[in-house]
Structure 1
Amino acid sequence: MNSPVNTIDRPELLDPLEDILSLTGARARLTARLVGHGDWALLFAAPPGAKFNAVLEGTCTLTVDGHPPLTLRAGDIFLLTRPVDYALATSPTVDVQPAAPYFRPTPAEAAVVGSPTEPVTAGLVGGSFEFDGRARQLLLDGLPPVIHLPGHAEGALSTQQMLTRIDRELRHDRLGSRVVAEQFALVMLIDLLRYHISVGAAGRSWIYGLAEPVTATALRAMHADPARHWTVQQLAEAAHVSRSTLAVRFKQAVGQGPLEYLTRWRLELGADRLAKTDQGIAAIARAVGYGSEGAFSLAFKRMTGQAPGAYRRHTRGHPDDAT
């Protein structure tokens, strides 16, 4: 029997960002380095999950439908949270070419565009972030299509040092270099998210709630003990504010009330256990704060459109049994 996931069993996980990244199984996959000479323009196919590129040297422009062109300089990183095509270019007058033919099957070998006799105009390293389960609903849907971390931003120096290390690992292809590079890339994801909420970006989801002190305190309390029978009054006391103040600030930042959020988070924890463990549905219901299997099943079907048993079969590769 598979062991239960430990999100609920580890009350020291007070940070909702850490909690959700752990639940979604966030991991990085480095694809390749790109070195461009002279003027060039490449079109990249829509990534299936979240895609990032970091500029190691030079400058280029990122173009994504529905988003203003973004000039990228050495040290800049961007994250795409939606599966959309995007283009990178050093000149608006050059014909755009598909990027795929330029990439080699050997990951350590850089893709080269343009004539090597011309100066290097931009060098990048790129990759993707993969997630398990309901990551798009939990994390990605609450973010804008493009997140940009400028190299000159406060706290970005450590990110640039990580970029240098990633580039070195990929260039020399030493023992364990891919693992090292991908772990640094995962830290970059956290830096991107930290920066995004620190600059007062507009949005409504749990991640924006982390930038509001009162809301962040309530979120941490719920994530520390999701099965507890919280009331708005108890959460307000934890945040040292009145019930009305907590309700207003939470709704403004997260887009829903505290107990609505708690219900959704409990069901997400339940979905994770259904997908990854062999625990009985009644045991899962109790573990995530429901008094009965029936109450859990009703709420779960309302959120996902599937009964818990059907959801378990579907996520384990037996969709024909998901009735």
Structure 2
Amino acid sequence: MDALAGLLDGPRARGAFLLRMVMEPPWSVRIEDRAPLCLMSVTRGEAWILPPDGAEPVHMRPGDVAVVRGPAPYTVADRQGTVAQARIGPDGVCTTLHGEPLAESMRLGVRTWGNAADGAATVLVGTYLLDGEISRRLLDALPPVLALPSDARSSPLLALLDAEISQDEPAQNVVLDRLLDLLLIAVLRAWFARPDAEAPAWYRAMGDPVVGKALRLLQNSPARPWTVASLAADTGVSRAGLARRFTELVGEPPMAYLTGWRLALAADLLRETDATVEAVARQVGYGGTFAFSAAFKRVRSLSPQEYRRGRPTR
């Protein structure tokens, strides 16, 4: 499995929140749904994404696609400076900033919402509502807002999602979930291919003949009882040479990277499968539950059982 395939083998929308937003200026919507990931695209007019913490605003034009990583709140508006008139809370519940419901008064049809049926701006929104739907490994590799201009992609999936989002056919939610997954994968694949992509250090290191091989060995066989010496032997270099080059390119030593990789895989398995904690521990390279639970709690401040029970419900 190549590095990108390993990252993108994660999106699994299950009843995702999909919406066509149609707005006439001035408009501004505050997003506080705490969702792990949202994909949006302007199909008409323009919009601004205003991230938290003073990050650079993103200006979107027709055909542009943005991926916003949660759970921090952000704002989508017609321009910078427009005061927010609506708030989207958890599970897509829409209210005024004072809490009055807006879902019915702004409903414009099937999965269509806004302040004017013929508004100047149209934005497609697809939101993954649950943490387990998006691999933590993928979320950690993404910037807070990823913007892909229209000329950087060639996939027809956006037009297909636009055509399907307001349909009300049998199993339509399943169709939309799969389209959202495919569109997200297509967008991320195009973004990671760009020379200016802010890919994580380990992803960039995949191109190195020595460190790239070491990373693939660790990623493909996390359960092996790896040591720096055994990893160096399999990559054909000295132990010291591998440790130095790996740390230089990846930003952490080989065994520290392996621990993070094992625990990220374990988190996905706990959320996505019914395997016992002991089975998960052995699958990712731990000999028993005690060492695995201690390492997991040290990193995530929750035991494996608490992490699994913490999976939110709709």
Same fold (TM over 0.5): yes
Q: Which residue of 2 aligns with 1:10?
A: none
Deviation at 1:257, TM superposition (A): 1.8
Residues in 2 aligned to 1:236 and 1:291: alpha-carbon distance in whole angstroms: 23
1:44 to 21, 30, 36: 30
Contact 1:56 1:75 in 2 (8 A): yes
Contact 1:31 1:107 in 2 (8 A): no
The SS at the match of 1:75 is coil
**Which is worse superposed, 246-255 or 123-132?**
246-255
Residues in 1 aligned to 2:307 and 2:12: alpha-carbon distance in whole angstroms: 21
Residues in 1 aligned to 2:260 and 2:167: alpha-carbon distance in whole angstroms: 45
Residues in 2 aligned to 1:109 and 1:287: alpha-carbon distance in whole angstroms: 41
1:64 to 33, 51, 58: 51
Query: Aligned partner of 1:157: which letter?
Result: S
**Which is worse superposed, 266-275 or 220-229?**
266-275
Instruction: Write the deviation string for residues 92-136 of structure 1: whole angstroms up to 9, x where unpaired.
Output: 5754421533675687242233473xxx53211102124545968
Contact 2:11 2:181 in 1 (8 A): no
Contact 2:45 2:62 in 1 (8 A): yes
Contact 2:40 2:124 in 1 (8 A): yes
Please tell me whether residue 157 in structure 1 is matched to residue 151 in structure 2.
no
Residues in 2 aligned to 1:51 and 1:73: alpha-carbon distance in whole angstroms: 17
Q: Percent identity?
A: 32
Contact 1:41 1:97 in 2 (8 A): yes
Query: Aligned partner of 1:230: which letter?
Result: W
Residues in 2 aligned to 1:93 and 1:315: alpha-carbon distance in whole angstroms: 41
Q: Which residue of 1 aligns with 2:274?
A: 277
TM (normalized to structure 2)? Answer: 0.75
Contact 1:40 1:96 in 2 (8 A): no
Q: Which residue of 1 aligns with 2:164?
A: 169
TM (normalized to structure 1)? Answer: 0.73
Residues in 1 aligned to 2:135 and 2:196: alpha-carbon distance in whole angstroms: 22
The SS at the match of 2:304 is helix
The number of equivalent residue pairs is: 292
Q: Mapping of 1:203-242 within 5 angstroms?
A: 204=200, 206-210=202-206, 214-232=210-228, 234-236=230-232
Instruction: Write the deviation string for residues 274-305 of structure 1: whole angstroms up to 9, x where unpaired.
Output: 56435362x54443323455444443443344
Query: Aligned partner of 2:150: which letter?
Result: G
Contact 2:42 2:65 in 1 (8 A): yes
| Closer, same or farther: CA 97–303 of 1 in aligned 2, 3 Å | closer
The SS at the match of 2:217 is helix
Residues in 1 aligned to 2:23 and 2:170: alpha-carbon distance in whole angstroms: 27
**RMSD (CA atoms):** 3.6
Q: Which residue of 1 aligns with 2:65?
A: 77
Contact 2:11 2:135 in 1 (8 A): no
Q: Which residue of 2 aligns with 1:113?
A: 115
Please tell me whether residue 124 in structure 1 is matched to residue 123 in structure 2.
yes
| Closer, same or farther: CA 196–178 of 1 in aligned 2, 3 Å | same
Residues in 2 aligned to 1:121 and 1:227: alpha-carbon distance in whole angstroms: 54
| Closer, same or farther: CA 246–162 of 1 in aligned 2, 3 Å | farther
Contact 1:148 1:192 in 2 (8 A): no
Contact 2:47 2:121 in 1 (8 A): yes
Contact 1:41 1:87 in 2 (8 A): no
Q: Which runs of 5+ in 2 are unaligned?
A: 88-93, 95-101
| Closer, same or farther: CA 219–182 of 1 in aligned 2, 3 Å | same
